[in-house]
Amino acid sequence: MQVKVINNRPVKIWTDYVEDLAMEQIANLASLPFVFHHLAIMPDVHAGMGMPIGGVLPTVGAVIPNAVGVDIGCGMCAVKSSWRVEDIDKQQLRDKIMPAIKAAVPVGFEHHATAQDEKFMPQGYDIDSLKIVSAEYESARCQVGTLGGGNHFIELQRDEEGWLWVMIHSGSRNLGKKVCVHYDEIAAALNGLWHSQVRPELHLAFLPMGTQEFDDYWREMNYCVDFALCNRALMMERIKSILSESLAGIEFEPMINIAHNYAALENHYGHNVIVHRKGATMVREGVTGIIPGSQGTASYIVEGLGNPDSFCSCSHGAGRAMSRNKAKENLNLNDEIKRLDDQGIIHGITAVDDLDEAAGAYKDIETVINNELDLVKIKTRLLPVAVIKG
């Protein structure tokens, strides 16, 4: 970890290299008048909208919708099974299990053709009091239990002892985007009326605590966090059901779940603050976390060390090494296919358009993990067996 002072604000960074645009965004964050104590930048950092991915931003009395992002509640879940990968017939996996998962879980822009049962949706909310959620509720019922696109994935994996795991990366689908965009627009309009020193071009408009707008966003954000969990949980249940049909007697341990795009009220350094985690995972001491790699590389189940320097946070994954367009321009399709084929991984990379999610587009996960061993300790290392990308 290195410490820099940027705009008179300490910034603690868990990597030796930060791309120029991400560093510019860090400087913008450091200039905000309501930042608390210091900024924490995780080893998977790369540029985002307004705030870099892999950033941890503590604030006093203000929430920034773009510091949470459009995929509110996006996160990981993982389940360990009682079957060994070596006991699974590879042809059965390729020709039966993976096609069945693809049929059960819509990916990309696809949704379910019919609304899913309301029991799969978040419970305990007054939906009518949530402006965006209530307007999008019926559409969201068709989205729950769907993967989405981009870097979202379903992966079957083996741990170091050979046990089969299922891991999912997904979020709040279009619902989270609608909530973020709506409240970012409100924040930008209000910041303009107040002649806020937070310049519009930074895309860091904020809502002050104690206002109706803050309360409205906070309730809808938390709904989206819960919706993202419901989304992952429903996919996981359907994948477990498919595995149970093919692998007689398979059992599953309880699901591990973590989010990495959200804001939360927490106490740090003796003060109650709002911690924005955008592409960062909360790892208080003893808490289990998930740090995925890219397809073709390892993922990790970790245990938090509760390091106060990072506001009890760690990376959310490997982090992009190049943009999607640069990946398509610079990576070699045959090389990326060979990388996966040589490991015997069932994958879907077949064309140049798939290269934006190739392993070569991401940072080295082993370097990322080694840079944060003061934040987490490794519990389990997982290697990919079969991958479905959004």
Query: Does residue 340 lie in a domain region?
Result: no
CB atoms within 10 A of CB 312: 23
How many domains does the chain contain in total? 1
Q: So what's the pLDDT on residue 353?
A: 83
Query: Does residue 349 lie in a domain region?
Result: no
Number of H helices, E strands in the chain: 10, 17
Q: Which residues belong to the active site?
A: 316
Query: Does residue 140 lie in a domain region?
Result: yes
CATH code for the domain of 232: 3.90.1860.10
Query: Does residue 357 lie in a domain region?
Result: no
Query: Does residue 333 lie in a domain region?
Result: no
Determine if residue 8 is left, alpha or beta; phi over 0 gives left, psi from -120 to 50 gives alpha, anything else beta: left
Query: Does residue 330 lie in a domain region?
Result: no
Task: Answer for the pair 64, 57: CB distance below 8 angstroms, yes or no.
Answer: yes
E strand or H helix at 218: helix 212-246
**For residues 317 and 304, what is the distance between their CA atoms, to the nearest angstrom?**
15
pTM: 0.95
- Give the range of the structural domain holding residue 275, as residue numbers without chain letter: 2-321+362-389
Q: Which residues contact 102 (CB under 8 A, 6 or more apart)?
A: 388
Q: Tens-of-pLDDT digits for all 390 residues of the chain? A: 999 999 999 999 999 999 999 999 999 999 999 999 999 999 999 999 999 999 999 999 999 999 999 999 999 999 999 999 999 999 999 999 999 999 999 999 899 999 999 999 999 999 999 999 999 999 999 999 999 998 899 999 999 999 999 999 999 999 999 999 999 999 999 999 888 888 888 899 999 999 999 999 999 999 999 999 999 999 999 999 999 999 999 999 999 999 999 999 999 999 999 999 999 999 999 999 999 998 889 999 999 999 999 999 999 999 888 888 888 888 888 888 888 888 888 888 888 888 888 888 888 999 999 999 999 999 999 999 999 987
Query: Does residue 8 lie in a domain region?
Result: yes
Query: Does residue 379 lie in a domain region?
Result: yes
